[in-house]
């Protein structure tokens, strides 16, 4: 909780970045190959934009709450 | 709300066991996402071990949590995955009436906790809710509350563990023992290592994951349904087909049809919703259940402790978006493999029509009889009886997983399943961390060993987590082999909550309430409430007496039973207090309104004041209820 410790928001950022990379990566693969998953609204390419949203949030949290910088 | 699961959900796991084909198959990417989640929660536990050395650190997280962390943890400990699925199923059955459990069934109580009750819990520096009762009424009331709470926590944890494992079996085909062991060992590890701080940190993480994994379903569903108007139009059309239009309109009104039990699909009356749910059950859970109150007690100062429930209430008000909306969307969007509309049914019908390994209905006559009581079309019934692929019935409780499977492809499905697992684990971590504190402080230290060192109590706390998880696993297997126990375990919360609320409210706001009155009021209230429960259990027609109407449905029982039990306990406390000697006012400082000088808080700008945010909550809450009247 204190500045010298890793805040929970940083852990959340790490997890969101990891998930964002994996899901966006899969979405781009789908987009590139045209092999869409057998689910409803697959043409909406949810993995691309939802993965990118997770990635952006994760980067924000990692940057804002990186160890050594964060306040409570 | 923990313990107040929808009636349809009450026997969820027992019947789901009969399902044959899993709903989904995970890819490597999905499994990687789930594995990364487990790795992260255990890493957090290991990282925080060094900050859980003293009892204050282990049991109270060092009382260092900010308002945001305490608030998100407060609401996350309540966001169990079974609750998510149960209420999505209820929304499928009853429409937006189910939202009452998220709005009037939570928001007023959360604001009241933050503004009115929190100062007393916080100023008296109690470690637990039974601890507060001990300070106010003495050891008798405290011990009754502590022992009943500890038993409830462990049994509930076991039941939820089993129910979650069955969901994983139905959705993914996972082995029941595998799910039970992996999830419980992970929870035991991270709570046992890092104590309450680890539980709270993981609950915040789990909260983010639940939203990240579940939010996409209503977004995609609303796109496909054509927005709010499209959804409404299609539900009205489907309801007209199923019921001749009787219930369709009621699906969109929260209050309009609560004037009589028979006018709404839930079979409840506004008086039960307002007084039973909105007051007794809601205030009982959100202000006296130590599972959630413990999170707020860990706040770093009084202002943070008051702000935490208010912050949480904003997220609680938003939760129907990921719970109720998917249930409503399921009514119009779920389809069978041949493109026809998939109608969900009750767990009893799913069980009656369970299939053999070869894909045929095991008990044709029983299945026919069960289906005849549903709105399933003749064609749909014939299809089930013919058996084969895609013929299997699904229950209301599967609405949310079915919607996930419908929209979420590789990766996103893993995230959705992780959201369900995270929901389960946050609830279980809440159970075991609260159990550990109550066991150590209010049972072991109070009744067994008063003279242990601080490190001894930390050790007892760690061991109690391991033992608690082990007993929970035992309870899970017990329920697996004796399904009838489940209804009783799930009723425990509703039996204890009303007498506990009466004892605490009278104790906190009436200086005249006496020690004996608190003890007898709590104990007799529990006996009264349990008697009402057993009366309806053994004589189902008694429901009409408990809920005051022959048209009442099981959902009405919980709310009216709680109301009567609260009134019974209150009368007992009032009468005994008036004929016994009260404690001197001076002894009640820090415990009772009117006898306590609350600490003065540093002034803050209006936009950071808890009163400003509470007012905003109240305005939004009122607006939403008017909007969906």
Whole-angstrom distance, CA of residue B552 vs CA of residue B260: 9
Q: Which of B201, B300, B408 is nearest residue A8 as measured by Cβ atoms?
A: B201
CB B201, CB A8: distance < 8 Å: yes
Q: How far is B235 from chain A (nearest CA, A)?
A: 19
Whole-angstrom distance, CA of residue B573 vs CA of residue B516: 8
pLDDT band at B248 (very low <50, low <70, confident <90, very high): low
Question: Is A1 domain-assigned?
Answer: no
Is the CB of A63 inside 8 Å of chain B's CB atoms? no
Whole-angstrom distance, CA of residue B629 vs CA of residue B627: 6
Question: Is A70 domain-assigned?
Answer: no
Cβ contact A15–B300 (<8 Å): no
Whole-angstrom distance, CA of residue B183 vs CA of residue B111: 33
pLDDT value of position B241: 61
**Considering only CB atoms, which chain B residues are within 8 Å of A48?**
none
A14 closest CA partner among B119, B72, B125, B40: B40
Is the CB of A69 inside 8 Å of chain B's CB atoms? no
Is the CB of B63 inside 8 Å of chain A's CB atoms? no
- Percent of chain B whose pLDDT exceeds 90: 48
**Considering only CB atoms, which chain A residues are within 8 Å of B30?**
none
* Structural domain count of chain A: 1
CB B525, CB B563: distance < 8 Å: no
Q: Which of A27, A40, A50 is nearest residue B406 as measured by Cβ atoms?
A: A40
Neighbours of B562 (CB within 10 A): 30
Whole-angstrom distance, CA of residue B511 vs CA of residue B502: 14
**Which of A14, A18, A19, A72 would you mutate first to test chain B, the one with the most B CBs within 10 A?**
A19
A-contacting residues of B 186-215, CB under 8 Å? 201, 204-205, 208-209, 212
Question: Is A21 domain-assigned?
Answer: yes
pLDDT band at B390 (very low <50, low <70, confident <90, very high): confident
CATH 1.20.1730.10 domain extents, chain B: 7-332+402-627
Q: How far is A47 from chain B (nearest CA, A)?
A: 7
Cβ contact B409–A39 (<8 Å): yes
pLDDT one-digit tens code per residue, B496-525: 889 999 999 999 999 999 999 999 999 999
Burial class (CB in 10 A: 0-12, 13-18, 19+), B620: middle
Average pLDDT over residues B583-610: 87
pLDDT one-digit tens code per residue, B253-264: 899 988 888 888
Cβ contact A19–B36 (<8 Å): yes
Cβ contact B66–A1 (<8 Å): yes
Q: Minimum mean pLDDT among B262-276, B397-411, B569-583: which range?
A: B262-276
Q: How far is A40 from chain B (nearest CA, A)?
A: 5
Is the CB of B68 inside 8 Å of chain A's CB atoms? no
Whole-angstrom distance, CA of residue B99 vs CA of residue B273: 11
Question: Is A25 domain-assigned?
Answer: yes
pLDDT value of position B600: 80
**Considering only CB atoms, which chain B residues are within 8 Å of A37?**
409-410
Tokens of B342: 């998939």
pLDDT, averaged across chain B: 87
3-state SS class at A54:
helix
Whole-angstrom distance, CA of residue B262 vs CA of residue B551: 6
Question: Is A2 domain-assigned?
Answer: no
Sign, CA dihedral B131-B136-B140-B141, equals negative
Is the CB of B328 inside 8 Å of chain A's CB atoms? no
pLDDT value of position B1: 53
Question: Is A45 domain-assigned?
Answer: yes
Cβ contact B220–A44 (<8 Å): yes
**Which of B51, B412, B422, B429 would you mutate first to test chain A, the one with the most A CBs within 10 A?**
B412
Cβ contact A72–B66 (<8 Å): yes
Whole-angstrom distance, CA of residue B269 vs CA of residue B271: 5
pLDDT band at B81 (very low <50, low <70, confident <90, very high): low
Q: How far is B559 from chain A (nearest CA, A)?
A: 38
Question: Is A26 domain-assigned?
Answer: yes
CATH class of domain segment(s) B7-332+402-627:
mainly alpha
pLDDT value of position A9: 93
Whole-angstrom distance, CA of residue B496 vs CA of residue B284: 9
pLDDT band at B407 (very low <50, low <70, confident <90, very high): very high
Cβ contact A47–B412 (<8 Å): yes
pLDDT value of position B427: 84
Cβ contact A26–B415 (<8 Å): no
Structural domain that includes position A12: 8-64
pLDDT one-digit tens code per residue, A16-64: 999 999 999 999 999 999 999 989 999 999 999 999 999 999 999 999 9
**Which of A15, A20, A57 would you mutate first to test chain B, the one with the most B CBs within 10 A?**
A15
Question: Is A69 domain-assigned?
Answer: no
Count of CB contacts below 8 A, A vs B? 84
């Amino acid at each position: 909780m204190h500045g010298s410790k890793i805040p929970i928001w940083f852990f959340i950022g790490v997890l969101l970045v990891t998930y964002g990379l994996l899901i966006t990566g899969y979405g781009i693969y789908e987009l590139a190959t045209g092999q869409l998953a057998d689910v409803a609204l697959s043409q909406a390419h949810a993995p691309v934009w939802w993965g990118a949203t997770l990635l952006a949030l994760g980067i924000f949290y990692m940057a804002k709450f990186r160890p050594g910088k964060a306040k409570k | 709300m923990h313990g107040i699961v929808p009636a349809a959900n009450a026997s969820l796991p027992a019947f789901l066991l009969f399902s044959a084909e899993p709903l989904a198959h995970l890819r490597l990417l999905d499994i990687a996402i789930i594995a990364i989640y487990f790795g992260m929660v255990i890493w957090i536990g290991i990282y925080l071990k060094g900050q859980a050395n003293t009892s204050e650190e282990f049991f109270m997280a060092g009382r260092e949590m900010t308002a945001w962390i305490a608030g998100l943890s407060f609401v996350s400990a309540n966001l169990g995955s079974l609750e998510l699925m149960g209420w999505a199923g209820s929304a499928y059955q009853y429409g937006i009436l189910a939202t009452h459990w998220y709005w009037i069934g939570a928001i007023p109580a959360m604001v009241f906790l933050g503004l009115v009750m929190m100062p007393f819990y916080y100023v008296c520096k109690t470690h637990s809710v039974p601890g507060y009762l001990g300070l106010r009424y003495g050891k008798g009331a405290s011990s009754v509350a502590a022992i009943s709470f500890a038993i409830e926590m462990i049994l509930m944890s076991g039941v939820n563990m089993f129910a979650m494992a069955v969901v994983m079996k139905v959705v993914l085909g996972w082995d029941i023992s595998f799910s039970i062991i992996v999830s419980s060992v992970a929870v035991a590890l991270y709570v046992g290592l890092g104590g309450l701080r680890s539980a709270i940190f993981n609950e915040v993480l789990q909260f983010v994951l639940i939203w990240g994994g579940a939010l996409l379903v209503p977004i995609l569903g609303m796109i496909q349904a054509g927005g709010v108007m499209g959804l409404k139009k299609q539900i009205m059309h489907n309801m007209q087909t199923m019921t001749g239009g009787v219930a369709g309109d009621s699906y969109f009104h929260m209050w309009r049809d609560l004037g009589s039990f028979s006018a709404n699909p839930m079979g409840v009356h506004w008086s039960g919703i307002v007084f039973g749910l909105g007051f007794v059950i809601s205030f009982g859970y959100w202000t006296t259940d130590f599972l959630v109150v413990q999170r707020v007690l860990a706040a770093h100062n009084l202002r943070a402790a008051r702000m935490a429930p208010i912050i949480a209430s904003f997220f609680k008000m938003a939760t129907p978006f990921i719970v109720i909306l998917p249930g409503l969307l399921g009514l119009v969007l779920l389809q069978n493999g041949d493109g026809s509309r998939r109608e969900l049914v009750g767990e009893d019908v799913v069980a009656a029509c369970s299939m053999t390994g070869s894909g045929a209905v095991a008990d044709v006559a029983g299945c026919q009889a069960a289906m005849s009581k549903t709105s399933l079309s003749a064609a749909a019934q014939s299809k089930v009886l013919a058996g084969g692929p895609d013929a299997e019935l699904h229950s209301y409780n599967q609405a949310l997983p079915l919607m996930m499977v419908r929209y979420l492809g590789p990766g996103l499905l893993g995230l959705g399943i992780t959201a369900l697992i995270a929901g389960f684990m946050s609830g279980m971590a809440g159970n075991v961390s609260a159990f550990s504190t109550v066991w150590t402080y209010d049972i072991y230290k109070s009744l067994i060993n008063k003279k242990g060192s601080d490190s001894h109590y930390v050790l007892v706390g760690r061991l109690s987590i391991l033992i608690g998880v082990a007993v929970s696993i035992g309870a899970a297997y017990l329920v697996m082999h004796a399904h009838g126990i489940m209804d009783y375990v799930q009723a425990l919360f509703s039996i204890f909550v009303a007498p506990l609320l009466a004892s605490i409210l009278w104790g906190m706001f009436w200086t005249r309430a006496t020690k004996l009155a608190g003890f007898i009021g709590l104990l007799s209230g529990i006996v009264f409430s349990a008697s009402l429960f057993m009366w309806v259990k053994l004589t189902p027609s008694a429901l009409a007496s408990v809920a005051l109407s022959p048209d009442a449905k099981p959902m009405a029982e919980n709310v009216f039973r709680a109301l009567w039990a609260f009134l019974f306990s209150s009368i007992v406390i009032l009468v005994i207090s008036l004929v016994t000697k009260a404690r001197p006012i001076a002894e009640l400082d820090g415990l009772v309104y009117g006898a306590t000088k609350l600490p003065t808080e540093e002034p803050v700008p209006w936009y950071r004041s808890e009163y400003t945010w509470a007012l905003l909550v109240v305005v939004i809450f009122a607006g939403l209820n008017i909007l969906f009247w």
